Amino acid sequence: MNGRQVPDRFAPDVERQFHESRVAGFSAINRNTFWSIAILLLLFAPWDAYVDPAHWQSAFKVRLIGAAVIVATGLIQQLPGMGHWLPLMAKLRLVISLVAATVAASTLDRGYGFAVAGVVS
């Protein structure tokens, strides 16, 4: 280098602009992915019915509740001024989808043996 030190941080105005552009970029990418996550969670219901015809309805109820919460987080993030919640909402959706798939699998006989694909997805 030419002997000048690089500052640890940029000017506050530049930091703010960068943060706002990142939130806007992530928001544009993630604006409607929550629908896909909810649909994917529900699409495993036919597999549940195939694996355990006697108990698939209880697994579907869990999946439906999980999908509803995922959609609710997506709709909340789209409210005006809620863009700063986007990273938290995305993480929350990941956790909700994993928990819903795992709990749905637990309601099935041998659900964990057959539902690994749903949990991994």
Q: Is pLDDT above 90 for 70?
A: yes
**Confidence class of residue 4 from pLDDT cuts 50, 70 and 90?**
low
- 8 Å CB contact between 59 and 48: yes
Predicted local distance difference test score (pLDDT) of residue 38: 93
Among 55, 21, 30, 59, residue whose Cα is nearest residue 42: 59
Residue 13 has pLDDT above 80, yes or no: yes
The per-residue pLDDT for range 29-64, each reduced to its tens digit, is 766 788 999 999 999 899 889 888 999 999 999 999
Predicted confidence at residue 12, as pLDDT, reads: 81
Q: What is the pLDDT of residues 96-119, one digit of tens each?
A: 999 999 899 889 887 666 666 656
Q: Do the Cβ atoms of 84 and 50 come closer than 8 Å?
A: no
> What pLDDT shows up at residue 59?
93
Q: Average per-residue pLDDT in the chain?
A: 82
How much is the pTM?
A: 0.71
Domain ranges of the chain: 32-120
Query: At 2, which amino acid appears?
Result: N
